[in-house]
């Protein structure tokens, strides 16, 4: 039987639930006893507490991060007949949220070092015939690394489009001292169970300093109601439930500590991977603080490396194996997006979460070293 790093560490998110077990049980019992299960006191409290954490005035709880993207675009009046630029190397949930708004996703290439939306590629799209009708761009802070916001904002301003933040993987990341989610007009968050701030099911939020935009999202998330049972427009059912809000309130207090631990583990990986001939460690842009939702390396021998690590009992993944422009739902596969294609062929997510032991990290690094020596 292969050895496993789980000999030293519980897998995430189970370890997270165990840490907070007493508080989570109390929170869920509180909700069950309240008799209020949808958009009640727990949701109100979480929205206020998460807004305070971010330093914003408005947070609107919704059912998922994908819903958050859709609701933002609908609240901005961006839908059928419009296009929205998205990084091609990103979760398909990003493009799905755009498509559900009625707008068409338009794939754009990424920066090779950070895997985030490339400002030059966005500018090239917007100055080309393909850029006609693009009303917004979704800026994904992929793996927890902030995108080049200043450069992207210059491009957006020059072309008169909206920039939306997708912070689904970036809770706690910082861009020049500012939390991601506060860099532009509005941001989408996911609290899927594997995220840095994790619910026990699907959950999401929209964050903004624009009270009118927040009110529009609140209305759309619940059937378009301004008053109960009376729809001003055709909204949806995308409500954060009380149980998930109560869970998120418990975990929010530990978020900064858990991200610091992710950074410590990343530093250990970084130090041992210097000079490796088979993997390239992730870079961090100057002025940015990575949240390390994922610790992602590149390898020209990706498939062989992944097989070697899996045989050693080490859980690894290729996030994401097919760029959006090559997925039937979102592209024709004929765009020339070289960096997205290269990233998809080379990335490996190594084990990363705040409950990972130093022994487990050491086991991963030793396995990579064995692969390097066996191949030399």
Q: CB count, 10 Å around CB of 352?
A: 20
234 and 330 inside one domain:
no
168 and 290 inside one domain:
no
Instruction: Report the percentage of the chain scoring pLDDT > 70.
Output: 97
Q: What is the pLDDT of residue 4?
A: 53
- Residue 140 is part of a domain; what is its CATH number? 3.40.640.10
Which of 52-61, 163-172, 237-246, 358-367 comes out lowest in average pLDDT?
358-367
Asked if residue 304 has pLDDT above 70, the reply is yes
Asked, for residue 263, whether it belongs to a domain, the answer is yes
Mean pLDDT on 139-164: 98
Domain boundary among 252, 277, 299: 252
- Residue 308 is part of a domain; what is its CATH number? 3.90.1150.10
Asked, for residue 98, whether it belongs to a domain, the answer is yes
Distance CA 195, CA 206 (A): 16
Q: What is the pLDDT of residue 7?
A: 53
173 and 267 inside one domain:
no
Asked, for residue 32, whether it belongs to a domain, the answer is yes
Residue 153 structure tokens: 């904002």
pLDDT, tens digit, 9 for 90 and up, residues 207-236: 999 999 999 999 999 999 999 999 999 999
Q: What is the pLDDT of residue 376?
A: 53
Asked, for residue 4, whether it belongs to a domain, the answer is no
Asked, for residue 3, whether it belongs to a domain, the answer is no
Distance CA 368, CA 306 (A): 10
Asked if residue 5 has pLDDT above 80, the reply is no
43 and 192 inside one domain:
yes
Q: What is the pLDDT of residue 232?
A: 94
Whether 267 and 358 have beta carbons less than 8 Å apart is answered as no
Distance CA 87, CA 32 (A): 41
The CA distances from residue 53 to 48, 159, 171, 372, in Å, are 9, 32, 10, 43
pLDDT, tens digit, 9 for 90 and up, residues 342-356: 999 999 999 999 999
Whether 313 and 2 have beta carbons less than 8 Å apart is answered as yes
State the chain's mean pLDDT as an integer: 95
187 and 282 inside one domain:
no
104 and 220 inside one domain:
yes
Asked, for residue 157, whether it belongs to a domain, the answer is yes
What DSSP element (H or E) covers 308?
helix 302-311
Mean pLDDT on 14-35: 96
Q: CB count, 10 Å around CB of 370?
A: 13
Domain that holds residue 355: 255-375
Which of 9-18, 51-60, 281-290 comes out lowest in average pLDDT?
9-18
Whether 207 and 62 have beta carbons less than 8 Å apart is answered as no
Q: What is the CA radius of gyration of the chain?
A: 21
246 and 286 inside one domain:
no
Distance CA 311, CA 215 (A): 51
**End-to-end C-alpha distance for the chain, whole angstroms:** 26
171 and 238 inside one domain:
yes
Asked, for residue 6, whether it belongs to a domain, the answer is no
Domain boundary among 208, 237, 252: 252
191 and 259 inside one domain:
no
93 and 167 inside one domain:
yes
Q: What is the pLDDT of residue 6?
A: 57
Mean pLDDT on 347-375: 93
Q: What is the pLDDT of residue 2?
A: 45
Asked if residue 3 has pLDDT above 70, the reply is no
- Burial call 190-224: b when 16+ CB within 10 Å, e when fewer: bbbbebbbbbbebbbbbbbbeeebbebbbbbbbbb
Q: What is the pLDDT of residue 72?
A: 98
Asked if residue 293 has pLDDT above 80, the reply is yes
How many domains are contained in the chain? 2
Asked, for residue 7, whether it belongs to a domain, the answer is no
Q: What is the pLDDT of residue 1?
A: 33
208 and 298 inside one domain:
no
Among residues 249, 256, 144, 165, the alpha carbon closest in space to that of 199 is found at: 249
Q: What is the pLDDT of residue 9?
A: 65
209 and 290 inside one domain:
no
| Residue bearing tokens 């015939």 | 129
Asked if residue 62 has pLDDT above 90, the reply is yes
pLDDT, tens digit, 9 for 90 and up, residues 315-338: 999 999 999 999 999 977 667 899
Q: What is the pLDDT of residue 286?
A: 97
Q: What is the pLDDT of residue 334?
A: 65
Domain boundary among 195, 229, 252: 252
Mean pLDDT on 273-301: 97
Q: CB count, 10 Å around CB of 359?
A: 11
Among residues 292, 222, 229, 237, the alpha carbon closest in space to that of 262 is found at: 292
Q: What is the pLDDT of residue 10?
A: 72
């Amino acid at each position: 039987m292969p050895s496993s790093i789980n000999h030293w560490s519980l897998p995430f998110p189970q370890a997270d639930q165990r840490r907070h077990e007493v508080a989570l049980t109390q929170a869920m019992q509180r909700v069950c006893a309240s008799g209020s299960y949808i958009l009640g006191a727990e949701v109100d409290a979480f929205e206020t507490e998460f807004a305070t954490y971010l330093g914003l005035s408005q947070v609107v709880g919704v059912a998922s991060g994908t819903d958050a993207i859709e609701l933002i675009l609908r609240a901005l009046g961006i839908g059928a007949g419009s296009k929205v630029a998205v990084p091609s190397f990103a979760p398909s949930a990003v493009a799905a949220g755009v498509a559900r708004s009625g707008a068409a996703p338009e794939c754009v290439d990424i920066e090779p070092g950070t895997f985030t939306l490339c400002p030059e590629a966005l500018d090239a799209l917007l100055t080309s015939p393909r850029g006609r009708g693009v009303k917004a761009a979704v800026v994904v802070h992929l793996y927890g690394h902030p995108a080049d916001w200043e450069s992207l904002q210059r491009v957006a301003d020059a072309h008169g489009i909206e920039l939306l933040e997708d912070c689904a993987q970036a809770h706690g990341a910082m861009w020049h001292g500012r939390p991601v989610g506060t860099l532009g007009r509005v941001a989408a968050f996911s609290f899927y169970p594997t995220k840095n701030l994790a619910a026990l099911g699907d959950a999401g939020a929209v964050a903004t300093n624009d009270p009118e935009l927040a009110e529009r999202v609140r209305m759309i998330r619940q059937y378009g109601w301004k008053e109960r049972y009376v729809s001003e427009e055709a909204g949806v059912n995308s409500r954060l439930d009380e149980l998930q809000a109560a869970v998120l309130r418990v975990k929010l207090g530990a978020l900064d500590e858990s991200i610091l631990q992710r950074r410590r583990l990343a530093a250990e990986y970084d130090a041992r991977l210097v000079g490796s001939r088979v993997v390239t460690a992730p870079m961090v842009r100057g002025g940015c603080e990575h949240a390390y939702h994922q610790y992602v390396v590149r390898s020209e021998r990706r498939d062989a490396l992944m097989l070697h690590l899996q045989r050693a009992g080490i859980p690894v993944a290729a996030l994401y194996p097919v760029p959006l422009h090559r997925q039937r739902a979102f592209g024709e596969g004929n765009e020339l997006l070289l960096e997205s294609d290269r990233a998809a062929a080379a990335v490996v997510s190594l084990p990363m979460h705040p409950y990972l032991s130093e022994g487990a990290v050491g086991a991963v690094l030793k396995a990579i070293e064995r692969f390097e020596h066996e191949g030399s």
